[in-house]
A and B are shown apart, each in its own frame.
Chain A
Amino acid sequence: MKSSVITFPGSNCDRDMDVALKKFGFNNKMVWHDNNELPKSDLVVLPGGFSYGDYLRCGSMASKSRIMQSVINFAKSGGLVMGICNGFQILVETGLVPGVLLRNKYLEFICKNVFVKLDNKENTYFKNLNKDVLEFHIAHNEGNYFCTKDQLKEIKDNNQIAIYYCNKEGKIEDQYNPNGSIKNIAGIFNKEKNVLGMMPHPERMIDQSLSGEDGSIFFKNLINNIK
């Protein structure tokens, strides 16, 4: 299975993602943002970081960079595109997934482990996962998911909410919402479910001795679903 990780100026989770994808069997290529063409890929990942120094709005400059037109075309033709953290911010700026990510409600950078509950397994990312609650890591300043009332109705009607912040038991309550996101939303799909944007970092949870294995579970399952 072939994957591509796009590196923007200021990306800093691109190599972590490369390590994670290779560990679970992807033949991964790193792609510089200034390229026009995407290598043949089964999965494209927009990694975390601070592309373009978060200038203007997080992800806004990266969403207009040269490679993104190919990524948008790839997504529109049904290709799998996953945006993590800053990658999620880039995805909302392209309009591939609805909504926007605002500054965290309490104006603090949050760096900690969180639990997320999967809402919908009818998609390539979560199909066949035998867990409903996963422990991932978040590290962001702008992860406060916001959308209009009309958009919220639409994403609910289309089952586009991918994951919610919750507790260990999977309870979705305000007290487990780290950043003020509407409805505890931590990740969103596009309508067709081939594009996934989420704030948590599965690539940081792939080593039992360092972090825990929920990222490993996610990536193993993902490559099996793509095969």
Chain B
Amino acid sequence: MKVSAIITLKKDVLDPQGKVIHQALDGMGFENISEVRQGKYFEIDVNENDPSKAKAVVEDMCKKLLANLVIENFKIIETQ
């Protein structure tokens, strides 16, 4: 079963890359933006048929490796 996880920076953590991307987009004419935050996206194929079990495994991965909870939040967004 495929499980996806999105890792984003917490609100009060500075994201200089997001800022630069925002400026670039602004310069390209995409002016209607108030903020850009950059994150990470993972697609993980878990050998598990039970969706809640598969999600739980990915949640454990996020806590132990994929995210650093000092600065990042994670969200498990979909299962297939």
Q: How far is the CA of A3 from the CA of B57 in the complex (A)?
A: 39
- Interface assignment of B20: CB less than 8 Å from any CB of chain A: yes
Q: Which of A56, A98, A103 contacts B16 (CB 8 A)?
A: A103
* B70 and A103 contacting across the interface, CB-CB below 8 Å: no
Q: How far is the CA of A147 from the CA of B71 in the complex (A)?
A: 8
Spell out A's residues near B (CB within 8 Å). Answer: 56-57, 60, 64, 93, 98-100, 102-107, 144, 146-148, 151, 180
Chain B residues lying within 8 Å of A102, measured Cβ to Cβ, are: 13-14, 71
Chain B residues lying within 8 Å of A104, measured Cβ to Cβ, are: 16
Which bucket holds chain B's interface residue count?
10 to 19
B64 to chain A, nearest CB (A): 8
* B17 and A100 contacting across the interface, CB-CB below 8 Å: no
Spell out B's residues near A (CB within 8 Å). Answer: 13-14, 16-17, 20, 65-66, 68, 70-71
6 A-B pairs closest in CB distance: A100-B70, A100-B71, A107-B16, A100-B68, A57-B68, A103-B16
A149 to chain B, nearest CB (A): 9
* A105 and B65 contacting across the interface, CB-CB below 8 Å: no
Chain B residues lying within 8 Å of A99, measured Cβ to Cβ, are: 70
A56, A98, A105, A180: residue with the most chain B Cβ atoms closer than 10 Å: A56
Shortest Cβ distance from B67 into A: residue:
A57
B65 to chain A, nearest CB (A): 6
Chain A residues lying within 8 Å of B13, measured Cβ to Cβ, are: 102, 146
Chain A residues lying within 8 Å of B17, measured Cβ to Cβ, are: 103, 107
Inter-chain contact total with CB atoms closer than 8 Å = 33
* B14 and A180 contacting across the interface, CB-CB below 8 Å: yes
Q: How far is the CA of A146 from the CA of B14 in the complex (A)?
A: 9
Shortest Cβ distance from B13 into A: residue:
A146
Chain A residues lying within 8 Å of B14, measured Cβ to Cβ, are: 102, 105, 144, 146, 180
Chain A residues lying within 8 Å of B70, measured Cβ to Cβ, are: 98-100, 146-148, 151
Q: How far is the CA of A64 from the CA of B65 in the complex (A)?
A: 8
Chain B residues lying within 8 Å of A107, measured Cβ to Cβ, are: 16-17, 20
Q: How far is the CA of A10 from the CA of B70 in the complex (A)?
A: 25
19 contacts between A and B (CB under 8 A): A56-B65, A57-B68, A93-B68, A99-B70, A100-B68, A100-B71, A102-B13, A102-B14, A102-B71, A103-B17, A105-B14, A105-B16, A106-B16, A107-B16, A107-B17, A146-B70, A146-B71, A147-B70, A180-B14
Q: How far is the CA of A180 from the CA of B65 in the complex (A)?
A: 25
B70 to chain A, nearest CB (A): 5
Shortest Cβ distance from A148 into B: residue:
B70
B10 to chain A, nearest CB (A): 9
Q: How far is the CA of A144 from the CA of B20 in the complex (A)?
A: 17
Q: How far is the CA of A8 from the CA of B16 in the complex (A)?
A: 28
Known A107-B16, A148-B70; 9 more pairs at CB < 8 Å: A56-B65, A57-B68, A100-B68, A102-B13, A104-B16, A105-B16, A107-B17, A107-B20, A147-B70
